[in-house]
Structure 1
């Protein structure tokens, strides 16, 4: 861009020189000055080179990260620790490497800049939870990402999956629904070809298919196993493993109390532009006239802006969360007791699209003797979710965008305005919200209990029993309602649908861990064990017609006038898994694994 500017100025000066020779010398001086300005600017930008080394050994750090915080451009060092990066004077460079303390520096000139990082023994010795055991960062060879409690708390997420967004490379989080309490998809390094793309999720050793029952503040750490480090769980870990640990007790003379709370409101950040009443009437008249039909609007000047249906369905929705945790203990026993309450209403529908969650958990660790230890985790969660139609033709937002702004929400009699003359699936969204009743209640009781025994020095046997029980009840009510001529949502007979589903599971894991280190040079870690798991499902479904008083208050299958043939069904299923596993790790001089 500098060269284009120079060419333009030079051409203009040549023209001026031909028309005015008296200022010839001044124009030459200005030309030289303007030419030097971009040259000076160009001299401030270039490729900065250098070497990144270990401060104690002067050895180059291979594949370390060099990041320009000003331009958000990054690079990595080569095998000898050398790097090249585009930067300008004043840019800030950040150097980081696993197990080392990150450093920042300001570019003072386009020259060679060498850096030395100090190792962090605390980071290298940080304990990382892996399959059926734990290790330290410096001993891990697989791809493992860690999200700590502090990082989760900074985000104030409504659901735990939101805390993983952007926190781990190769992990994609996508929403299944925009309504409160909607689920999320977790994808680790893309999708698989076996039909199931969900990772294996273990919370304190208990399998979870849905993380909505967990309060994000109750989490101590999240460890994501992405590659061969997850293989110890077998084929069920083909899509990766997410290991979640809840907060545990600590040795302290006085209890440690954690309390988090926030209250706020939510609103739509963006609206989709649509025609106002005047614009809609003009185009509608033109369309009818072009089709040889009579224009429907005679007086357009009185219409004004009309009804903004997005304003009608969107609202400021309250959200609040309270979390309390008390931790403590002594030399022999440690405890953590906590509970939370979360309430979120939808920006569409308010309480008709809300989500509430109550949780409580108890974590207890007891040293029964010098060699025998007991641990247990018990969690209870109660959830209530109400939903509206979404992500489909005929949903609330679909109708809000397709209802013409020339119509009002209510007619002169105070009844909902009917969307006559429009598509068969377009109805008044406010009427739709008022007549939608979908409730889901979930009660979940889960936990684990285990014993750990130190057989000999470096040899430990652990046995644990994870369990889970979930009761899910659904109730949906469809009242008698008329939305307009020929509408597909018209109902001439009220109905109610109810279902009850129970999910129960239990497991038994027995693990033997052996660790041996010789002369601080050789280290061997051996893990072997067996795992048994059983999951049971039962479901009962029924639909009844003719609800008394056409009211949700009496909407129950037991109160309905009739249950038609095929209106009731049930189902059940059992899944069992038994496996044996093993893992051997060898390290030499804490450098080669």
Structure 2
């Protein structure tokens, strides 16, 4: 039909051949009509439309009409709600979470929230000082919830910096999460278990690799001028650990500086050993920790022994994991079709073909030649596994935890051991960890108390590069750019490259790369406490935090960048040792029936020594030796480097909390920090804050 109109009218037609496949057969007779009338009759009831442009008929697909979607059995709807207390006052900051999911939100200043819900969802609402409440969504358009206050919570003791106070006497923003509320069965780090547990706390894990680092932000923390949240475990700051070493050598160091392999330095803490986690969220609460508390403070309190018979506990779990959703990519047949269309569009542009790119007619230039012939496309299939499917697998996590605790009134103890094993869903990612912990507290006399704590951890990880950009983007990027028309493995077992992106490695070849990280950490601490008089105590403590991380890698000749260097090996290592001395004098006493004073003053000194080393070589005779024989490489200039650093903190601090009648609290805190980062240790900065806060008890008459 198109050819007949072209012959009789001298009109030219512009169209994409594949679009004509959807056209319906036409059986029509027309005599003595114009071209416009003929086109209107031909394209009636067709899925195609047309447009006339200077004696050129452009055929294109019609926009698809929106088809009302069938209402599914389970349809999610946006539901708004409001949470108030028993007096009808809105409660801001309430955590509203859908049970057994990671979806949730918090209420705004008016106590309002909005969530996408399905009928039958169970909402869990929690807030400090109120009873946790569960509610089943039954399809209502709005949700009104009244939360009841928990009087017991007001009397609960909450750990703050260098002491503890009752919940009702808190003046700063402090949120507590109990250890029993943390889902430790599938997490390598306790940070992962904090998601959705505290309002105003954002937990982000940039990569899903087993043992990967986690970023915790308190109240969004918009500043880029800090080193992140300060973590304190049983009174010991633990941020100065040996970090994950970067890939070394001329290949890994140059291409994968941002390698997406960031192991959490807090993996040494067994989540099962945690008694509670406190978030010091504002300046009032965190000022006692000074300069390093700019992004907030996370206090971790571990379990200790209690008086009673020895108690043995075992917990274990096993679970499988699968990638929930990966980036969608074309199947082989669709890829061939799109590759042809892309080349055809480039042909139109380069030859300035009318009507979009110029005035050149198609018959006056070299004909377009497709990349793939119709027979090749017809012989292809969209059902073959894609490169994205090839790089994922079924993973698992398992852990076993054994603990022993007890005490006799003067001596209490707690010992635990943990084994954690995770097989990642991305090929080449695994993580194993062994933890051991022991603490003991001894009452020597009615005035003297001593104690010690030991945490030991050893871990091994297999890494796969997932970060970076462009050709250095890692295994996921390589799978996205892979051409489905090329087999992932050659007949000889080799790993071919995509002809369209020859600078990107074959995604399956990442499995042949050896990249291992071994980490050890030993945190020991001891203290002695002397009760001078009733309410007045002096305490001295010492801790030693030793950590080591070693990363060994080898890029074989089966991997693109390894082939370019004829094999590339490297070893990187980082060591850290941190010593902490603390001396405090505390006073806590009811001065009279209505007056209470809780005060503490102290001095702390911490010195951290770090060392680093890396070496690399390439051009090996064989892949067999990997990184075990760096000296056998024959690079023109092998890489080698080392580093050393020292950081010292010396600080004085004081805090006083005065409570009147149990419901009015005045708190003042001051701290002076000196650091070797400044010119001299005596050059310090003073952090101080005075806060007046009131709390009124409700009474019935």
Partner of 1:468: 545
Contact 1:206 / 1:468 at 8 angstroms: preserved in 2? no
Task: Return the alpha-carbon distance in structure 2 between the equivalents of residues 344 and 132 of structure 1.
Answer: 36
Contact 1:476 / 1:496 at 8 angstroms: preserved in 2? yes
Task: Return the alpha-carbon distance in structure 1 between the equivalents of residues 635 and 106 of structure 2.
Answer: 66
Contact 1:380 / 1:444 at 8 angstroms: preserved in 2? yes
Higher relative contact order (CA closer than 8 Å, sequence separation 6+):
2
Partner of 2:53: none
Alignment equivalent of 2:577, drawn from 504, 507, 514: 504
Task: Return the alpha-carbon distance in structure 1 between the equivalents of residues 386 and 294 of structure 2.
Answer: 49
CA, structure 1 residues 353+96, in 2 after alignment: closer, same or farther (shift >3 Å)? Answer: closer
Contact 1:452 / 1:462 at 8 angstroms: preserved in 2? yes
1:311 aligns with 2:354: no
Task: Return the alpha-carbon distance in structure 1 between the equivalents of residues 483 and 82 of structure 2.
Answer: 60
CA, structure 1 residues 592+96, in 2 after alignment: closer, same or farther (shift >3 Å)? Answer: farther
CA, structure 1 residues 405+582, in 2 after alignment: closer, same or farther (shift >3 Å)? Answer: same
Q: Structure 1 residue 348: deviation in Å?
A: 1.3
1:247 aligns with 2:303: yes
Matches within 5 A, 1:52-451: 52-53=86-87, 98-99=128-129, 101=131, 117=148, 119-120=150-151, 122-153=152-183, 156-193=186-223, 195-209=225-239, 210-227=265-282, 228-253=284-309, 255-290=310-345, 291=347, 293-298=368-373, 299=375, 300-305=377-382, 306-349=384-427, 352-392=428-468, 393-394=470-471, 395-416=474-495, 418-434=496-512, 436-451=513-528
Q: Structure 1 residue 67: deviation in Å?
A: 10
Contact 1:204 / 1:448 at 8 angstroms: preserved in 2? no
CA, structure 1 residues 331+48, in 2 after alignment: closer, same or farther (shift >3 Å)? Answer: closer
Q: Which secondary structure state, in structure 2, belongs to the residue aligned with residue 549 of structure 1?
A: coil
Task: Return the alpha-carbon distance in structure 2 between the equivalents of residues 339 and 74 of structure 1.
Answer: 36
CA, structure 1 residues 355+48, in 2 after alignment: closer, same or farther (shift >3 Å)? Answer: closer
Task: Return the alpha-carbon distance in structure 2 between the equivalents of residues 583 and 143 of structure 1.
Answer: 16
Contact 1:459 / 1:514 at 8 angstroms: preserved in 2? yes
Contact 2:548 / 2:575 at 8 angstroms: preserved in 1? yes
CA, structure 1 residues 403+192, in 2 after alignment: closer, same or farther (shift >3 Å)? Answer: closer
Structure 2 length normalisation: TM-score? 0.68
Q: Which secondary structure state, in structure 2, belongs to the residue aligned with residue 296 of structure 1?
A: coil
Contact 2:422 / 2:432 at 8 angstroms: preserved in 1? yes
CA, structure 1 residues 75+179, in 2 after alignment: closer, same or farther (shift >3 Å)? Answer: closer
Task: Return the alpha-carbon distance in structure 2 between the equivalents of residues 106 and 348 of structure 1.
Answer: 37
Q: Structure 1 residue 565: deviation in Å?
A: 4.6
Partner of 1:556: 628
Contact 1:277 / 1:307 at 8 angstroms: preserved in 2? no
Task: Return the alpha-carbon distance in structure 2 between the equivalents of residues 544 and 264 of structure 1.
Answer: 40
Q: Structure 1 residue 65: deviation in Å?
A: 8.5
Task: Return the alpha-carbon distance in structure 2 between the equivalents of residues 459 and 129 of structure 1.
Answer: 19
CA, structure 1 residues 143+545, in 2 after alignment: closer, same or farther (shift >3 Å)? Answer: same
Q: Structure 1 residue 266: deviation in Å?
A: 1.0
Partner of 2:661: 589
Q: Structure 1 residue 391: deviation in Å?
A: 2.6
Q: Structure 1 residue 258: deviation in Å?
A: 2.5
Q: Which secondary structure state, in structure 1, belongs to the residue aligned with residue 267 of structure 2?
A: helix
Structure 1 length normalisation: TM-score? 0.79
Q: Structure 1 residue 571: deviation in Å?
A: 0.9
CA, structure 1 residues 288+439, in 2 after alignment: closer, same or farther (shift >3 Å)? Answer: same
Q: Structure 1 residue 358: deviation in Å?
A: 0.7
Q: Structure 1 residue 390: deviation in Å?
A: 0.9
Q: Which secondary structure state, in structure 1, belongs to the residue aligned with residue 476 of structure 2?
A: helix
Task: Return the alpha-carbon distance in structure 1 between the equivalents of residues 401 and 645 of structure 2.
Answer: 36
Deviates more, 1:336-345 or 1:391-400: 391-400
Q: Structure 1 residue 48: deviation in Å?
A: 10
Structure 1: which 5+ runs fail to align?
A: 1-44, 54-59
Q: Structure 1 residue 147: deviation in Å?
A: 1.0
CA, structure 1 residues 342+301, in 2 after alignment: closer, same or farther (shift >3 Å)? Answer: same
Structure 2: which 5+ runs fail to align?
A: 1-78, 99-103, 115-120, 240-264, 348-366, 666-701
Task: Return the alpha-carbon distance in structure 2 between the equivalents of residues 243 and 152 of structure 1.
Answer: 15
Task: Return the alpha-carbon distance in structure 1 between the equivalents of residues 498 and 332 of structure 2.
Answer: 16
Contact 1:527 / 1:583 at 8 angstroms: preserved in 2? yes
Deviates more, 1:188-197 or 1:365-374: 188-197
